């Protein structure tokens, strides 16, 4: 069952809630095509700490290309149900929960449309998209993964320590505690200068401006539980039987200067996937869809060639 959320005149999405189970609802946005033939539906899957509103311009571009857009807030993010008392904490018990939520959304909202379905994802959304396509090999026509989280970019010395500690702490009450250095969201710490997400100051502000309008969209750093769940999902994507079930044509677009996720892991996965095209965009930071104009044009040129040709 879905319940429509009130919409302002400025919004280009219509928002709904999907009940996953008792006391857990997923919010999703729908952008329809007015009075034109529909090419298909794009599942727009954002990354950790993001939300639907950040992707209005991206969704609008997809709409102008003839696609209906459906985009969910992952559980624990945006205005979907948060599973810990402090809503700023990035927490999930297992990425299996994200995949299950996406499967329910597909079954309840996407499948009844009887249209070709595509995926455009960013970062963590790419990890979830790959897991979904492995478990549902025939449901997605094509997928574009921007800076997918195939692995986390951590120094070689720190990586195994972080993995070990998160595994141990996730089995205790520390699971919902912040990792070292993580804390609640504060716009005061959001500084464009020196950031490793994008080079465009206007695009950098989008997330923070939306949070000013809807403070409950905010989310802070990650917990030990989330970090362990991420490591476990990364390990799942290393399994040959998981990779070989992904029959969907995939385009992986990597950011050359990505300091968040591993470009090396993306390249390795692209060689293993049955049907994958891989490109590195020179000079780009992590958020390819919110980068400076030159990078943005390159991204959409590769996207259009893959999806529309």
Percent of the chain with pLDDT over 70: 96
**Nearest C-alpha neighbor of 245 from the set 270, 275, 224:** 275
Q: 218 and 246 in contact (C-beta within 8 Å)?
A: no
For the chain, the maximum distance between any two Cα atoms, rounded to a whole number of angstroms, is 56
Q: 134 and 245 in contact (C-beta within 8 Å)?
A: yes
Q: Is the pLDDT of residue 174 over 60?
A: yes
Q: How many domains are contained in the chain?
A: 1
User: What's the pTM?
Assistant: 0.95
Rounded CA separation 218/284 (Å): 25
Rounded CA separation 244/134 (Å): 8
Per-residue model confidence (pLDDT) at position 11: 58
Over residues 167-177, the mean pLDDT reads 95
Rounded CA separation 45/24 (Å): 19
Q: In DSSP terms, which residues pair with 63 in a beta bridge?
A: none
CATH number for the domain including 183?
3.40.50.1820
Rounded CA separation 309/306 (Å): 6
Burial class of residue 267, CB neighbours in 10 A (0-12, 13-18, 19+): middle
Using only the alpha carbons of the chain, give its radius of gyration. 18
Q: Tell me: the pLDDT tens digits for 78-89?
A: 999 999 999 999
Per-residue model confidence (pLDDT) at position 35: 75
Rounded CA separation 305/159 (Å): 36
Angle between helices 224-236 and 95-105 (to 10 degrees): 70
Per-residue model confidence (pLDDT) at position 9: 43
**Pair type for strands 276-281 and 142-146:** unpaired
Two tokens, residue 101:
């939520």
**Chain center to CA of 32:** 21
**Nearest C-alpha neighbor of 65 from the set 44, 86, 87, 95:** 44
Rounded CA separation 38/32 (Å): 9
Q: Is the pLDDT of residue 15 over 50?
A: yes
Residue 159 neighbours by CB under 8 Å, 6+ apart: 152
Distances from the Cα of 293 to the Cα of 19, 39, 93, 105, angstroms: 39, 27, 38, 33
Per-residue model confidence (pLDDT) at position 4: 54
Over residues 59-65, the mean pLDDT reads 95
Q: Tell me: the pLDDT tens digits for 226-279?
A: 999 999 999 999 999 999 999 999 999 999 999 999 999 999 999 999 999 999
Over residues 305-309, the mean pLDDT reads 92
Two tokens, residue 45:
């899957």
Per-residue model confidence (pLDDT) at position 165: 96
Buried b (16+ CB within 10 A) or exposed e, 110-125: beeeeeebbbbbbbbb
Q: 270 and 251 in contact (C-beta within 8 Å)?
A: no
Arithmetic mean of pLDDT over the chain: 95
**Nearest C-alpha neighbor of 224 from the set 212, 232, 216:** 232
Over residues 148-176, the mean pLDDT reads 95
Q: Give the domain extent around 229.
A: 2-308
Q: 165 and 180 in contact (C-beta within 8 Å)?
A: no
């Amino acid at each position: 069952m879905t319940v429509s959320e009130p919409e302002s005149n400025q919004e280009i999405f219509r928002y709904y809630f999907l009940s996953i189970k008792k006391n857990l609802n997923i919010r999703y946005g729908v952008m329809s095509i007015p009075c034109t033939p529909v090419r298909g539906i794009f599942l727009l899957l954002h990354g950790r700490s993001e939300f639907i509103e950040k992707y209005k311009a991206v969704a609008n571009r997809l709409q102008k290309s003839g696609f209906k857009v459906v985009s969910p807030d992952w559980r624990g993010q945006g205005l979907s149900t948060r599973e810990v008392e402090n809503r700023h904490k990035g927490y999930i018990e297992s990425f299996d929960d994200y995949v299950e939520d996406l499967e329910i959304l597909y079954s309840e909202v996407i499948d009844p449309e009887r249209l070709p379905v595509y995926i455009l994802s960013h970062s963590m959304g790419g990890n979830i998209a790959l897991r979904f396509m492995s478990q549902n090999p025939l449901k997605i026509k094509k997928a574009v993964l921007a800076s997918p989280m195939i692995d986390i970019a951590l120094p070689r010395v720190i990586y195994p320590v972080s993995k070990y500690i998160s595994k141990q702490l996730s089995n205790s009450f520390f699971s919902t505690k912040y990792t070292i250095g993580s804390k609640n969201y504060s716009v005061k710490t959001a500084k464009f200068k020196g950031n490793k997400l994008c080079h465009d100051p206007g695009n950098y502000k989008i997330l923070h401006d939306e949070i000013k309008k809807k403070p409950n969209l905010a989310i802070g750093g990650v917990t030990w539980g989330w970090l362990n769940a991420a490591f476990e999902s990364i390990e799942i994507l290393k399994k040959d039987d998981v990779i070989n079930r992904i029959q969907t044509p995939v385009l992986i677009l990597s950011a050359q200067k990505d300091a968040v996720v591993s470009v090396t892991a993306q390249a390795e996965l692209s060689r293993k996937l049955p049907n994958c095209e891989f490109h590195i965009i020179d000079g780009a930071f992590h958020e390819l869809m919110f980068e400076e104009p030159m990078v943005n044009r390159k991204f959409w040129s590769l996207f259009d060639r893959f999806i529309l040709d």
